[in-house]
Amino acid sequence: MISIIIPIYNVEEFIVSCLQSVVAQTYNDYEVVLVDDCGTDRSMKLVNEFLKDSPFAAKFHIIRHDENRGLSAARNTGTKAAKGEYILYLDSDDTILPNTLEKLIGESIRTDAEMVIGNIHVIGEDKWIPKLKSDCHLSTDCFHDYLQGQYYMMAWNKLVKRNFLEKNHITFVEGLIHEDCAWSFIMACHLKKVSFVFEETYNYLVRNNSIQTDRNFSKHFKAYCFLLKYYADVANKYGRAEDSEFRWWFECQKALFFGITCNQGTMSQQRQIYKVIRRNLPSKGWDKMRLHYQLPALLGIFVYKKWFGMYLL
């Protein structure tokens, strides 16, 4: 059985379409865990109205937080309550195609991969939205493929074995935006086999008021500082810190975050993130690299996009 985790927070315009896409699946061995994260609009009223007359209502379980706790906490709550062998995260403003579950579970059974990733159909502005890069249907070098941007870092549209998450104690970092970056990095450190479905299995809606398009830079800045320390700590913990490809990728992350901060942040924020960068320098040969982080913001972003092609945060 597949457990579909759907956090719900102020998505009254989109939630019915999301649920309709689930009940339209050609594969029917699933449950849906809806996590009510205490929004202020009519989202949950619409959910209850939808389920009231639905023949699929028994497949749905609603869990309500006592207060708004954010996307990461909602996903963690849903995962903890899930009973399926597989987990699929679905954002409540997106939809899946009718054969999504059938294609993802079929690929998982065929390859015994710990995670199966489908391709994306973007609705709205698709600038820097990643698609699957490789035409190889199976990866056994998952960490390096992730660093090379062969697959995207977002948690949704990925069918993951639940026992894999439990065995490796993988959860989302709560209270953080760009939580998918931390989640996908630690996933890559553990994964031994990833399979791909190159047909589109997910409709990703880019909307102006989403977390990804939020222009409150202070929230993003806090996440950038956290992620730089997180990447270093996780890489050290799992023996990846001296990997040459990781070191290059990590330098690109530093240059990217520093460049964005120079472009959008204050002088105080620039000094703060540089302190974080200095604390997380590689162990050898980088003491005189300050000029590397002083690259103009646009150049740093261009280089990162050209080499890795991942979603620009």
Q: Does the pLDDT value for residue 309 go beyond 50?
A: no
Instruction: Tell which of 205, 233, 253 closes a domain.
Output: 205
The residues that bridge with 122 in the sheet, in sequence order, are 204
Residue 211 lies in a domain: no
Number of structural domains, the chain?
2
Backbone angles phi, psi at 291, to 5 degrees: -60, -30
Same domain, 234 and 191: no
Residue 245 lies in a domain: yes
Q: How far apart are CA 278 and CA 55, in angstroms?
A: 58
pLDDT in tens, 157-182: 999 999 999 999 999 999 999 999 99
Instruction: Tell which of 205, 229, 258 closes a domain.
Output: 205
Same domain, 116 and 46: yes
| Nearest CA among 154, 14, 171, 21 for reference residue 82 | 171
In which domain, by residue range, is 92 found?
Answer: 2-205
pLDDT in tens, 92-138: 999 999 999 999 999 999 999 999 999 999 988 765 667 787 677 88
Q: How far apart are CA 56 and CA 32, in angstroms?
A: 10
Give the Cα-Cα-Cα angle 71, 128, 270 (nearest 5 degrees): 70
Q: Residue 120 belongs to what H/E stretch?
A: strand 115-123
| Nearest CA among 88, 123, 97 for reference residue 13 | 123
Spatial contact of 18 and 102, defined as CB atoms under 8 Å apart: no
Same domain, 192 and 262: no
Q: How far apart are CA 175 and CA 171, in angstroms?
A: 12
Q: Output the pTM of the full model.
A: 0.88
Same domain, 68 and 196: yes
Same domain, 166 and 231: no
Residue 210 lies in a domain: no
- Provide the residue type at 273 as one letter: I
DSSP-derived 3-state class of residue 225: helix
Same domain, 111 and 173: yes
Spatial contact of 140 and 193, defined as CB atoms under 8 Å apart: yes
Same domain, 243 and 192: no
pLDDT in tens, 20-73: 999 999 999 999 999 999 999 999 999 999 999 899 999 999 999 999 999 999
Q: What is the CATH number of the domain that holds 128?
A: 3.90.550.10
pLDDT in tens, 224-265: 999 999 999 999 999 999 898 998 888 888 888 888 888 888
Residue 212 lies in a domain: no
